[in-house]
Amino acid sequence: MASVDLGKVISQAVDDYKADFVVHLVATLLVAVIGGATFGLLSGPLIVGYMRLLDKKRRGEKIEIADIFKGFDSFLPGLLVYILGGLAVGIGFMLCFVPGLLLAPGWMAAFCLVARGESDAIAALKRGWSSSKPSLLMAAVTMLVISILMSIGAIACYVGIFLTLPFGFIAQYHL
């Protein structure tokens, strides 16, 4: 994670979202519903699949809803990144919020690393967290802005979350 440009992250996320609105909307709904129905057990591999979908988009390839299921090729690393990273971020948020905010960008980077072939969850988390260090403050601010934008959707009678959650995933990828 080199230097972080909040405006660039937001504009790239908006552009990607607009270009394939339905794919992102349905894929995110599947991640949320399947992840929720399995008490989070399948969330990690599905997020890895979503990161692979976004990698395909970045390479100029056609993306499909089914791409999110390709994260199951990395089931164990995706699951472990989800559980261990989520635990670290959750504990960080309990410790006066700021530590969790500082750990969150690295956690998202770890999902991208697993999506790109890292098979060791601990190594992905370490690399994800170390990659966010050079721009830690700006990465944390960007994560906070993304989270606020996603929360606005939840505040809008929970229906808006279906519009802001895909944006949040895409923005976190670009971060």
* Between residues 101 and 159, the one the model is more confident about: 101
pLDDT > 90: what percent of the chain?
86
Identify whether the C-beta of residue 87 lies closer than 8 Å to the C-beta of residue 65.
no
pLDDT tens for 135-149 read: 999 999 999 999 998
pLDDT tens for 42-93 read: 999 999 999 999 999 999 999 999 999 999 999 999 999 999 999 999 999 9
pLDDT tens for 16-31 read: 999 999 999 999 999 9
Residue 104: pLDDT above 70? Answer: yes
For the stretch 57-64, contacts whose Cβ atoms lie closer than 8 Å and that sit 24 or more positions apart, written own/partner, are 57/16, 57/19, 57/20, 63/20, 63/23, 64/23
At 155 the pLDDT is 84
In angstroms, the CA 158 to CA 175 distance is 25
- Give the CA dihedral 79, 81, 86, 87, nearest 10 degrees: 90
The number of helices, as runs of H, and strands, as runs of E, in the chain is 9, 0
Tokens representing 144? 């906070």
* pTM for this prediction: 0.94
Tokens representing 69? 């299921």
In angstroms, the CA 76 to CA 43 distance is 11
Mean pLDDT, the chain, integer: 94
CA distances from 132 to 10, 24, 38, 115 (A): 18, 26, 30, 17
pLDDT > 70: what percent of the chain?
98
Residue 1: pLDDT above 80? Answer: no
